[in-house]
Amino acid sequence: MNDLMISISGVRGIVGRSLTPGLLGRLGEAFGTYMRSGKVIVGRDTRVSGEMVKCAVFSGLLSTGCSIVDVGVVATPTATLMIEELKADGGVVISASHNPVEWNALKFFRADGVYLNADEGRDLLNIYYAGDFLRKPWDALKTIEVAPDAEAHHVDKVLSILDVALIRSKKFRVALDCCNGAGVGISLRLLRALGCSVEPIHCTPDGLFPHTPEPNFINLQDLCRFTRERGADIGFATDPDADRIAVVSEKGDFLGEELSLALAAQYVLSRTKDRSRPIVINMSTSRVTEDVATQAGCKVIRTAVGEVNVAEKMEEVNALIGGEGNGGVIDPRIHYGRDAIVGMGLILELMARTGSSCSQLAVALPQYAMLKTKIDCPTAQSREVIRTLKSEAQSARTNLEDGLRLDWDDRWVHLRASNTEPVMRIIAEARTAPAAQALVDEYTERVRVALNK
């Protein structure tokens, strides 16, 4: 795998190999130039390399005349909320999200706290490659400020949309796995404010990940056992920068990331009578959320994968709620960005209002089996692969907005080039696990054949 990825989605690389201080400083210069020497919020996750990366980025930003507000080690949604709160011109979050510990990354945000979109990302990359950066003299350089308690602002905002008294009355016991990431402090803070008794596992924010950070079934077996053994009512897991959430039932069953969004959407729909406002999800999100919305008489709009695509569409159509099936819940009352913390709050209130256990809520949802895989595929070849597979599609409904999505009445498959890795992602969903596996196997083989042509 190529260990440096520079794209419109940001920059990711392996520290000590491709992600060097020189590269990071140059990226800081590019973003500072793009920000026109404005005010920039900078936050990071707990990765050991975070301080080195931050200092290098600071150097580049300062050289262009930017003023910097350092919000410290915080969840990504906390940092993006502070961009709005402090009326900054943009922000940088230092986090490689679900990538392994040796990776780090820069994520770039605009003044509304939303990721740069494709056009904005290209403008930034043009500045980076051209190298025509703003250069400020010594007497025009600005200082670094340290922000007050950013987590307090985030927690207070989430609490403001919840029935805190109701949730507190239930005295939920919650198992929590934050993968030793940036979600530790704020998750504990929110859950304790909601009167929960918290059973933490992997909640030492030292950046030494106890398991692969992707919050999926394989990586969260510790949490599944822990939730059951501790008699918790629910288990929550976040990725290292806490913009995604996965759920484990009181029985220790992994419900996953997809149902996090479905349960959050179910709660929001149950609390509003306005069915004129749609729900927005991406092309790879489970039909469970779509079915929940349809049953409630609410329109569903799908976008290309990518938080910014969902967020911009949500704002455009005044959506009730939205997000991505990777556990990225977006509640516009808080912010147009994925937020594990708000996901926790909405799901706990759903349990409190219905009186149902986590497993009962899950069983009541439409039942599907979803499988995800990926196959090495150079980005340059991905378009040709998609064109080949499209020409072979017969009976399916075809959507080319983001790679290739093929829909049948009882199943679907989505193939797309990753924005963060040189791979082709293959996601399939069907009524049964064997049917979903058959789709994954079929299209994995088709991609291999197309690559070898």
Which token pair is 292? 């929940």
Rounded to whole angstroms, the Cα distance separating 75 from 183 reads 5
Rounded to whole angstroms, the Cα distance separating 9 from 6 reads 8
For residue 188, the SS3 value is: helix
Q: Please check whether residue 187 is in contact with residue 211, taking contact to mean a CB–CB distance below 8 angstroms.
A: no
Tokens 């911009």 appear where? Answer: 312
**Active-site residue among 97, 187, 249, 260?**
97
Which token pair is 206? 């030292």
Taking every pair of C-alpha atoms in the chain, what is the biggest distance, in angstroms? 67
Q: Is 284 a catalytic residue?
A: no
**Burial zone of 146 (CB within 10 Å; 0-12 exposed, 13-18 middle, 19+ buried):** exposed
C-alpha dihedral, 7 to 9 to 10 to 12, nearest 10°? -80
Question: What are the beta bridge partners of residue 230?
Answer: none
List the end-to-end C-alpha distance of the chain, in Å, as a whole number. 21
Active site residues: 97
